[in-house]
Amino acid sequence: MKMIKNTLFTKTPVSIGPQSGYDNYIMAIESSCDETACSIVKNGREVISNVVASQIKTHEKYGGVIPEIAAREHLESINVVIDQAFKQAGMTPEQITAFAGTVGPGLVGCLLVGLNAAKTLALVHDKPFIGVNHLNAHLCANYIDTDLKPPYIALLVSGGHTQIIDVKSYSEQEIIGETIDDAVGEAYDKVARLIGLPYPGGPILDKLAKEGNPHAFKLPEAKVEGYNFSFSGLKTAVLRLVKSFEGKELPVNDICASFQECVSSTLFKKVKKALEQSGYKQVVIAGGVAANSEIRRKIFSLENEGYSVNAPAMKYCTDNAAMVASCAYFNTNTFDDVDVEVFSRA
């Protein structure tokens, strides 16, 4: 439980979290990249409303997210998503226990829009403000609609991050491994671009991989120490493979399947090793790439070995605000200061 007294007029601190002794309704805002999202979550696990305005259509034509354009679109959508989140829940600001917003990591201009909206709501309605780390929020997506409790091993795979985390308690996490170059999502998007697929390439590559032979091409698995990863060599290998087909028809599905096999088996091996060393019996996956069918299949196969496996519902894997609200509730390691500044890197 945390006691927050950053409200404007109220002198007594407000208690937030599982031990607060009453129902917490947290409204959160997420705007770190190309989704403007607002959600109200009861006691960290029950989603009362969840609104996401995606900008994928806008950025598709550029083949990636353009920060300036993304920030402008957040400005246009922010009031609409907040309004819809209240309407969907049938709630008023007075009924909200605290307002939360993503502080970072993310695109600074984008973060500013959502964070300032969350701070303003808190100040105007005299409620506590809670600033949340986006990566912690991705992990907390696993608490939605479940009764998951730490400790567990988490595989966090998103557009910007690839980490294996030892989650010791709701607030105590140790990153035991991470990528030394490209993130998994970044590798998916880059390889997708190499073979001519539109942005964001991850979901399309995943779909095409199902039609291909995962053993058609032997792609190199990087040998990196401990729980760390490297995906840039794999990306170069795909580039060479694509070039070798110049003038011939590219076996797109087989390349997708072979790439997906290489990535998912690397992730699987390291997660399994982390589980064995930690002695934990629970594992979760989180982040946008946790929506990947083959990564999910491999990690869920650990159930056959006696592990309990959890992955968020698809809509809570990619960026959303419900996970931010859940993090504001469970994690005491938050930025509970209305003066907190946005940050771009973890």
Does residue 251 have a cis bond before it (omega within 30 degrees)?
no
- Which one of ligand KG4, Zn ion, none interacts with residue 188, CB within 5 to 8 A by kind? ligand KG4
Find out whether 295 and 285 touch, Cβ atoms under 8 Å. yes
Minimum CB–partner distance for residue 278 and ligand KG4 (Å): 24
Candidates 25, 152, 170, 188; binder of ligand KG4 (CB under 6 A) is 188
User: In sequence order, what are the beta bridge partners of 42?
Assistant: 25, 46
What are the residues whose beta carbons fall under 8 Å from the beta carbon of 37, sequence distance 6 or more?
Answer: 29, 30, 31, 50, 51, 52, 53, 81, 319, 320, 321, 324
Told to check if 133 binds Zn ion by CB under 5 A, we report no
In the complex with ligand KG4, the residue whose CB is nearer, 202 or 212, is 202
Question: Which token pair is 254?
Answer: 């087989």
Q: End-to-end alpha-carbon separation of the chain, Å? A: 24
Tokens 């970044």, residue located: 186
Determine if residue 290 is left, alpha or beta; phi over 0 gives left, psi from -120 to 50 gives alpha, anything else beta.
Answer: alpha
Candidates 39, 49, 136, 158; binder of Zn ion (CB under 5 A) is 158
In the complex with Zn ion, the residue whose CB is nearer, 182 or 319, is 319
Minimum CB–partner distance for residue 338 and Zn ion (Å): 24
What are the residues whose beta carbons fall under 8 Å from the beta carbon of 290, sequence distance 6 or more?
Answer: 155, 157, 296, 311, 312, 317
- Which one of ligand KG4, Zn ion, none interacts with residue 104, CB within 5 to 8 A by kind? none
Using the contact rule CB under 6 A, the part of the chain among 74-82, 110-118, 196-204, 224-232 near ligand KG4 is 196-204
- Which one of Zn ion, ligand KG4, none interacts with residue 189, CB within 5 to 8 A by kind? ligand KG4
Told to check if 200 binds ligand KG4 by CB under 6 A, we report yes
- Which one of Zn ion, ligand KG4, none interacts with residue 291, CB within 5 to 8 A by kind? ligand KG4
Told to check if 114 binds ligand KG4 by CB under 6 A, we report no
**Burial degree of 16 (CB within 10 A; 0-12, 13-18, 19+):** buried
Told to check if 163 binds ligand KG4 by CB under 6 A, we report no
The residue at minimum Cβ distance from ligand KG4 is 288
- Which one of ligand KG4, Zn ion, none interacts with residue 166, CB within 5 to 8 A by kind? none
Tokens 């701070």, residue located: 119
In one letter, which amino acid is 70?
A
Interacting positions 268-327 with ligand KG4 (CB under 6 A): 287-289, 291-292, 318-319
User: In sequence order, what are the beta bridge partners of 335?
Assistant: 131
Told to check if 319 binds Zn ion by CB under 5 A, we report yes
Find out whether 343 and 160 touch, Cβ atoms under 8 Å. no
Told to check if 189 binds ligand KG4 by CB under 6 A, we report yes
- Report d(CA 284, CA 296) in Å as an integer: 10
Residue numbers at the binding site for Zn ion (CB under 5 A): 158, 319
Residue numbers at the binding site for ligand KG4 (CB under 6 A): 33, 158-160, 185, 188-189, 200-203, 206, 287-289, 291-292, 318-319
